[in-house]
Amino acid sequence: MKVLFFTLVDIRTIHFHAIYEDLLRELAGQGNEITIISPIQRRHGKETYLIEEDICTILKVKTGNIQKSNKIEKGIATVLIEPQLKRAIKTYLSDRKFDLILYSTPPITFLGAIDYVKRRDHAKTYLLLKDIFPQNAVDIGMLSKTGLMGMVYRYFRRKEKKLYAVSDRIGCMSQANVDFLLKHNPEIDPLKVEISPNSIEVVDRSMDPEGRKAFRNRYGIPLDKKVIVYGGNLGKGQDISYLVDCIDRCGCIDDIFFLIAGAGGEYGILENFVSQKSPRNLKLMSWLPKEDYDAMVYACDIGLIVLDHRFTIPNFPSRLLTYMQARLPVLALTDRNTDLAHIVVEGGFGWWRESSDPAQCVEILKEMDKLAPEEYRRMGERGYQYLCEHYHVKQAVRPILDFAAESGAEQSCR
């Protein structure tokens, strides 16, 4: 089967360990031919080009600066990406015919390019629904359903509905995502919606006590404290002001220390907090390469997830899998709509509090601080086993391959 994958992620090699690369590598390992379309942003000063790897082809398409840019630049680049992708496909992939088109949100503006290849090749389409835009932007005040911003909302909402319509199958990250999607889009046939969770190739990179000690010494992280690590995006969706308030109030808990490594539009809030208050319970680091970040996680004790309490859409952050692979218990401070809370608590490998009142964060951390190290290890092991049973990439490819077999895409190239 010939598979075309669209993504906004900057993929330069399929041999990197991350959710999309792991998924595509597993598909390639099962005898499928993989082509990836991934952006190269204008700031890098490169034109569109092809990368030929041993098990895949990657088409790097020159686009505007979609990530780490201001709202106006990002908005224009997002709208323009559709014709840029179509031109690149016509120029570089005109001689390739595809059986299955895989694509993830964000963004929803891949629509035109997806529809073009679908019609050209009579291909089947599978949407990996990773966020629900534009509603997520409305939830945190970045868009509005009224006024001038309401026009922008309605434009993207039409795009969203068209993307669902062009998708032959929609894979959602969890049951809460399935329920939300069908409730707010009743025109979607429930039979074409299924659960296709975030997944990874599970690799045991356990760090021995000496390795943990060496890493902590290297980065100036206390050896005698329970270290809560957060890594990744520091944007509007994480409500960084709430996180800062939590860290500030938790200064009274001697054994708790926060390690935050990331980047994003709200990073400056943390920088200002560090500059003004010099908190003794926090180390702030800028974005690290994924390999370094993964190693850092293994040297910590608790993984932290933070989501704005205003979200009505059920998010499911992929960083959860990194914590589970590292055998860390998880503290989830989120909205009430994500089923992440139920998974972490009912799975027995973490704690949850709604991310609206920092006092509740202090309360749960005081409770956590009383636990013996053995309990942390037991919880971490339960999380690792849950990961292997539910979020291993070998299970994640099954719905995709089953859909391809049902639709005839798998046989069409044989």
Q: Is 55:34 a contact under the CB 8 Å cutoff?
A: yes
d(CA 224, CA 219): 14
- Of the listed ranges 5-9, 30-34, 183-187, 232-236, the one predicted with least confidence: 232-236
Residues facing residue 232 across a β-bridge: 262
pLDDT score at 69: 66
- Digit-coded pLDDT (tens) for 269-283: 999 999 999 999 999
pLDDT band (50, 70, 90) for residue 208: confident
Output the pLDDT for position 218: 86
CA angle 330, 200, 54 (to 5 degrees): 155
| CATH code that applies to domain 209-390 | 3.40.50.2000
pLDDT at position 219 is 85
Region 71-85: mean pLDDT is 80
Question: Does 134 sit behind a cis peptide bond, omega within 30 degrees of 0 on the bond before it?
Answer: yes
Contact 24, 53 (CB under 8 A): no
pLDDT for position 308: 94
Higher pLDDT, residue 289 or 191: 191
Alpha-carbon gap, residue 20 to 5, rounded angstroms:
9
Which residue, chain included where needed, has tokens 């409305």? 138
Please report the pLDDT score of residue 413 as a whole number.
Answer: 42
**Of 104-118, 303-317, 330-344, 365-379, the least confident:** 104-118
Q: What is the pLDDT of residue 273?
A: 95
What's the rounded Cα separation, in Å, for the pair 295 and 302? 14
Beta bridge partners of 353: 333
**Tens digits of per-residue pLDDT, 227-252?**
999 988 888 899 999 999 999 999 88
Give the per-residue pLDDT at 288: 75
27: CB partners within 8 A, 6+ apart: 3, 34, 397, 400, 401
The pair phi, psi for residue 125, each rounded to 5°, is: -125, 140
* pLDDT over threshold 80, residue 290: no
* pLDDT > 60? residue 399: yes
Mean pLDDT (whole number) for 325-334: 95
pLDDT digits (tens, 9 = 90+) for 332-344: 999 999 998 889 9
pLDDT band at 293 (very low <50, low <70, confident <90, very high): confident
What are the tens digits of pLDDT across the range 41-54? 888 888 999 999 99
Q: What is the pLDDT of residue 44?
A: 83
Structure tokens at 31: 């005898």
**What does the alpha-carbon distance between residue 330 and residue 390 come to, in Å, rounded to a whole number?**
16
**DSSP conformation letters of 188-257:** S-GGGEEE----B--------HHHHHHHHHHHT--SSSEEEEEEEE-SGGG-HHHHHHHHHHGGG-TTEE
Q: Is 414's pLDDT higher than 50?
A: no
| Average pLDDT over every residue of 103-128 | 90
pLDDT score for 113? 92
What's the pTM value of the predicted model, to 2 decimals?
0.90
> What's the confidence (pLDDT) of residue 68?
67
Q: Which of 293, 330, 316 is nearest to 391 (CA)?
A: 316
Q: Quick one: CATH architecture of 2-201+392-407?
A: 3-Layer(aba) Sandwich (3.40)
Q: Please report, for the chain, the start and end positions of each structural domain, with discontinuous segments joined by +.
A: 2-201+392-407, 209-390
At 344-378, the pLDDT tens digits run 999 999 999 999 999 999 999 999 988 888 999 99
Res. 410 pLDDT band, cuts 50 70 90: low
Check if the beta carbon of residue 412 is closer than 8 Å to that of residue 123: no
Distance CA 151, CA 399 (A): 37
Tokens of 227: 């270290």
pLDDT at position 76: 79
> What is the rounded average pLDDT of the residues 305-322?
93
The yes-or-no answer to whether 2-201+392-407 and 209-390 have a common fold is: yes
Task: Please report, to the nearest 10 degrees, the dihedral formed by the alpha carbons of residues 223, 228, 233, 239 taken in order.
Answer: -140
**Which pLDDT tens digit goes with each residue over 183-205?**
999 999 999 999 999 999 998 87
pLDDT above 80: residue 221:
yes
Q: Is 286 helix (H, G, I), strand (E, B) or coil?
A: coil
Q: What is the mean pLDDT of the chain?
A: 90
Average pLDDT over residues 303-328: 93
Taking the C-alpha atoms of residue 273 and residue 371, their distance in angstroms, rounded to an integer, is 29
